[in-house]
Amino acid sequence: MTQAGATRICLDDGQSLTIASNMLHHVLGTLQKRPDRLFLDPSFLGTLPRDFADITKKSISVLEFSLRTSELLGKDNVVNVAELLSYSEVDLLKMPHVGKKSLNEINSVLKFVCYQHQVNLEEVRKKFRDRRLGTEM
């Protein structure tokens, strides 16, 4: 049973999610404007080390950015690690209010995560960016 003003959404894996009705419009609108969110298919992620592929599916909140950086990324609808990886440094600097400090923080965290999983950051960024832009080979 859902609360008044809430909508229950059934997911592919049989689980369900309850979301406030006023947020549902925002979420659906965001997905329509940003179809690139759908690039997390298993065939694409299967080309990455399994533990790294698992991290790319998670929210950027797992990266523990400063509040300012988290809010900046949220305002640009960057919600998961894969999306963040799909933006080059130039793309990030084009986002409103992202400057050198925020860029340095993002790069430092991503470099550390890639180092932990023995993945080259620039190669992964290029792969995700090509996927987002539809230019992959």
Closest Cα to residue 76, out of 84, 85, 65, 88?
84
**What percent of the chain is helix, strand and coil (3-state, nearest 5)?**
60, 10, 30
Give pLDDT, residue 131: 82
Orientation angle between helical segments 121-133 and 100-116, nearest 10 degrees = 110
- Residue 52 vs residues 8, 79, 84: alpha-carbon distances, Å: 31, 17, 14
What is the C-alpha to C-alpha distance for residues 44 and 42, in angstroms, rounded to an integer? 5
- Binned at pLDDT 50, 70 and 90, residue 4 comes out as low
In the 8-state DSSP scheme, what is residue 117? T
Give pLDDT, residue 134: 77
Of 36 and 122, the structure prediction assigns the larger pLDDT to 122
Check pLDDT > 50 for residue 75: yes
Give pLDDT, residue 3: 54
CATH number of 35-133: 1.10.150.20
For 42-68, the pLDDT digits (tens) are: 555 666 677 777 888 888 888 888 999
What is the C-alpha to C-alpha distance for residues 65 and 106, in angstroms, rounded to an integer? 8
Give pLDDT, residue 58: 86
What is the C-alpha to C-alpha distance for residues 119 and 85, in angstroms, rounded to an integer? 12
Ordered by start, the domain boundaries in the chain are 1-33, 35-133
For 81-129, the pLDDT digits (tens) are: 989 999 999 999 999 889 999 999 999 999 988 888 888 889 888 888 8
Orientation angle between helical segments 100-116 and 67-75, nearest 10 degrees = 100
Check pLDDT > 60 for residue 17: no
For the whole model, what pTM was predicted?
0.64
- Binned at pLDDT 50, 70 and 90, residue 20 comes out as low
